[in-house]
Chains A and B, each alone.
Chain A
């Protein structure tokens, strides 16, 4: 599940409330049912800030949590598995303060979920990651989902939510709105045609669709495509005497949805 919301909407606070790591100020309650597991092993939380001891090595950081949560017996196998999953083997003996920001983020994620909890909360997990590391995180999150874990992700960029989540919740003004599946959200979004003319664009008089003013110059316009194919729009515009320069067809995306949802 992806948690969408503007900066300051309360995403991190909500995760803090879910994990019991912050005090509530207005009452309310959170109840998590994780029967069958000790409570401390049921939830993993990768905070937005990287939570590692810099003078310890990667293996020692991961090992600290593994031994704490699993005991010495189980920890050894969990450490080895986690280092492999996050491709951290080559830097296992390196102290964290020698690592790049992206590498630290990966170690942070690895340590947070070394105990393979069934509930995994990730607050902005892709910050500072390069493309390769980001893909690794996307693969891991998808693998966790397939293994049956419940994953809740917040992210700055809707593209990340799109890749990491199957269901969406929008957080705005302190209230959540369940948006359903990603597919449902995208299917409600129209494809958009944006175009720029050599002169002010004028729509055909008998057009069955509507042009939206994008700038005051009228040279740049946007049209939401319904059932009408984009080439019909273009040919009708040309037949009306418009000379078109730049044409951009946008598919439905969470970015566009987020922009519209966040409003002015």
Chain B
């Protein structure tokens, strides 16, 4: 069915201003919801902290290495930063839980601005978690920082952005919250396992290491290792973030192509 609205956009805000306004509106609302529902705080901040304390360097296989506890902490931080996949997907599904999807379909903001606003708060929380955990590990757990903080920040930003893009893609191709949640937990565990976030890559079987190259986790940990234990070379960090950003671009493009404001989804939680 064609839906044609003959209108004049003469009084509408300019393109950039409108784009920024849409991002800000959705981001503010999402931030308020996430902050008040609190479960995101638990999964992104508290759970990795608890697991780091309980399991520590035992899972990393680096008991004897200096800063092993710090390395394990970063592994759990990277693993749980990917809860951003779940919370980004939920940000889109939220409109179906609360019946607000009809309004989005009527208003039809620019897809990129809408998506950015939706995922920005979860993205920011995961990014802050990565920085906090790395800082804590450096100050209290003997994690060396041979590179620069900026390298850690760049890697963290690339990683959480890739998770948000994947969350958007999973939303676009699924029909229910339950399906999205199951897929995102599957991603969380498998990507972390083969990417070296739980057990150090060197301790993994060869076939797992091969699979790991396809995950953003492997490249994020490669860059983080370079910034911490390594020599802090920018070439390694930039190469790793470029791979992660390519993964992000593929997910975001696929999501944009699959996304339609008129899609009907279900809440089956």
Contacts and interface: CB of A to CB of B under 8 A. Distances in A.
A21 B106 contact: yes
B3 A29 contact: yes
Nearest to B30: A53
A175 interface: no
A51 B99 CA distance: 5
Given A20-B105, A35-B6, A55 B29 contact: no
Contacts of A42: 5, 7
Contacts, number: 122
Interface string B6-17: 111101110001
Interface string B103-140: 10111110000000000000000000000000000000
A247 interface: no
A42 to B, nearest CB: 6
Contacts of B106: 19-21, 40, 43, 45
A60 B28 CA distance: 10
B107 A69 contact: yes
Interface residues of B, number: 38
Contacts of B251: none
B25 interface: yes
B1 A30 contact: yes
Given A47-B99, A52-B100, A53-B100, A38 B11 contact: yes
Contact of B98 (A23, A35, A53): A53
Contacts of A69: 107
B7 A27 contact: no
Contacts of B233: none
Nearest to B261: A21
A55 B4 contact: no
Given A21-B105, A51-B103, A39 B32 contact: no
B159 to A, nearest CB: 28
B21 interface: yes
Interface in A227-251: none
Given A30-B1, A50-B99, A69-B107, A37 B29 contact: no
A17 B7 contact: no
Contact of A56 (B8, B22, B32, B102): B32
Nearest to B3: A20
Nearest to B95: A51
Interface string A12-26: 000011011111110
Interface in B17-38: 17, 21-22, 24-26, 28-29, 32-33, 36-37
A35 B7 contact: yes
Contacts of A30: 1-4
A34 B5 contact: yes
Interface in A158-188: none
A36 interface: yes
A24 B12 CA distance: 29
Interface string B21-64: 11011101100110011000000000000000000000000000
Given A56-B29, A68-B107, A38 B12 contact: yes
B262 interface: yes
Name the residue among B3, B5, B29, B262 with the largest chain A CB count within 10 angstroms: B5
Contacts of B102: 16, 19, 21, 45, 47, 49, 51
A71 interface: yes
Nearest to B104: A21
Contacts of B33: 53, 55-56
A29 B1 contact: yes
A28 B99 CA distance: 26
Interface in A65-92: 65, 67-69, 71-72
Nearest to B36: A55
Given A22-B262, A28-B1, A67-B25, A51 B98 contact: yes
Given A29-B1, A38-B11, A39-B5, A45 B21 contact: no
A199 interface: no
B23 to A, nearest CB: 11
A17 B94 CA distance: 23
A112 B106 CA distance: 11
A24 B29 contact: no
Given A52-B100, A53-B29, A21 B262 contact: yes
A54 interface: yes
Contact of A38 (B3, B4, B9, B26): B9
Q: Which 8 A-B pairs have the closest CB atoms?
A: A24-B1, A20-B3, A29-B2, A21-B105, A49-B99, A38-B12, A39-B7, A39-B5
24 contacts: A16-B102, A19-B102, A20-B3, A20-B5, A22-B262, A22-B264, A27-B1, A28-B1, A30-B1, A31-B4, A31-B5, A38-B12, A45-B103, A50-B99, A51-B99, A53-B29, A55-B33, A55-B37, A56-B29, A56-B36, A67-B24, A68-B21, A68-B25, A112-B103
